[in-house]
Structure 1
């Protein structure tokens, strides 16, 4: 249609010139070209058509190039945003739309929920320097992105910047976790070496302690030292306390697996109940024993006895006279649960993160190894220990997995 329009315009111009020539002829003017004007008009129209076609082809080529560029940006794996010199967003790809919504026609700083450009804006820096920029940014969605900013000139001559964002949050977390694990491995190797050395030293310490204790008992039994009986007893008690610390430490550093068998944890509790009841009565406290119907699980009876005694004695020591310690067992989520609840004052908030750490204790004469031994025993039984504490008391939960004999064979 446009080509016909240009032909019509050319012919019209030629016809007008032809009429003008006739008018000149009728008034005896010398300018007479006749039908040449129509031919010139047709030629002019053809030239107009050619110019129009060339312009249209150029526009179509620019449009196709622009579309190819947009398709390329849309196919990139990351989040892509194209920004102009005035911070206006010209283009965003599908990934951007999924993450931030449509911001085309708005300003790039709106993506960060800002009302003005950022200080030291990297996009502005890219426009000024003309060099690409690589950086890392944390956006309002708490994700970490690797950011690449590349200035370029559009096919129509407009200066733009393409900003590409790649979500590296998981990679960063993985790197941090790998670093943490590496440090833990280094510390574990160091602690293991120190533990082996300390275990050897403590074995040697126990021998002279036993000798000194024996001589103190011997001297204390002689008549000339009867007046110093209390002093001798104090020294013997302190040696016994030192020996208990060494025994607990050796128990904590012992990593060799002990034989386990299919046992019911209730049987171990029933065997320990008289001992626990005696401890509670001497402290004017009570024991409540609530056992549920639990299956047999893989246990080492000696280690389980030590775990139960440590947890129960901690609970008794945390309570005032008249308090009740409740020991219960039940099945929950395919696990056998041992629950020990005291009526003490709870664990202070500032100590919660240190529970189970070797040598950490809030007791005046405590060793800080009782709970550490419990965690170590639970680990060897593939069990977990967690607790809940408030000013009304503390509850410890030991959860043992239930395995069938077929699964372990």
Structure 2
């Protein structure tokens, strides 16, 4: 019996460590023993609704993606419900070798399908192969169900509809309630302090179910600006309009917006969001308008460490829910490390740190090692933001990071799954700060 097969059956290593260290080596050796041309092991992330390649053999640098096994497809359902190996002949399906034969066998743990094995040969193999498939799948299923906790005390965050940014506002409940009768609300604070998040939350409390429109820039032509304001007002109806960086506007733009609001051209809420620095050129009436009812947000540098940890705890849950990974946990060690880190861009830096870890994690717990030192700008797609370029970039980041997790960083397979060339993938990753 080869060392690889012995490792499969008799190794003292268990759970996650076995899957990460023993499985890739043992799978390659099993494929060679069975004279397979190529093969992969695909596993479900524990307690997560996503799958990733945990071992592969024989694909070389070019890689390969079995499109007929796309999740939720006909053949995926066939594999995940069959107690016997499923046969996929090269004459009917696109295989790596363009001919030959492939067998796929599902992996189960506690009666649930958690992945599959696929091997491909130059010619059809008999039923004796099925015994090896069964034993190997049984071993993987056992270890998959035995993932050890990576921390004695993972942090269990409480479900809350309140965003973490509220922790930056002293007596926030009274402060927000006082805004109920206001028409214009200004939120000021340093970069990444959660200003837009706060405006969205206030909108959901004061104008529930109504449109919420974010405007990143204004037309420089004043005639076009008047037309745009009219169109935006109709689109938002009695909802909310959010204007970003009003202090950067020209005096002409300030006057047009001021007159439009004074004329009663819009009956909903208006938010002005900007930094808290002074600007020399501002119309007195416009300055009075935007500074009358304002909320000032502070940066993380001025927060007690206990409040920062509470914010980090809440933010982690918000991001986990937004990525449909409600069961994922943040270890106590990882949370405590937040006190020792610097976040120049406040929520933006902390959000990127957590989000990149959540998107890449294959387990149910984020450890100190998972956080690392990397701070990749991944962003979350904001459906209310009209900036098409930023929206596309946010979506591309998330899809590429998801492909990174599924294919363990194999760029060739990532590119095939994403439907682009490897060169295009590398270009996008460099452009998005992911490479």
The TM-score, its normalising length taken from structure 2, stands at: 0.19
The TM-score, its normalising length taken from structure 1, stands at: 0.20
Higher RCO by CA contacts (8 Å cutoff, separation 6 or greater): 2
When Rg is computed on C-alpha atoms for both structures, the one with the higher figure is 1
Structure with the higher fraction of residues in helix conformation? 1
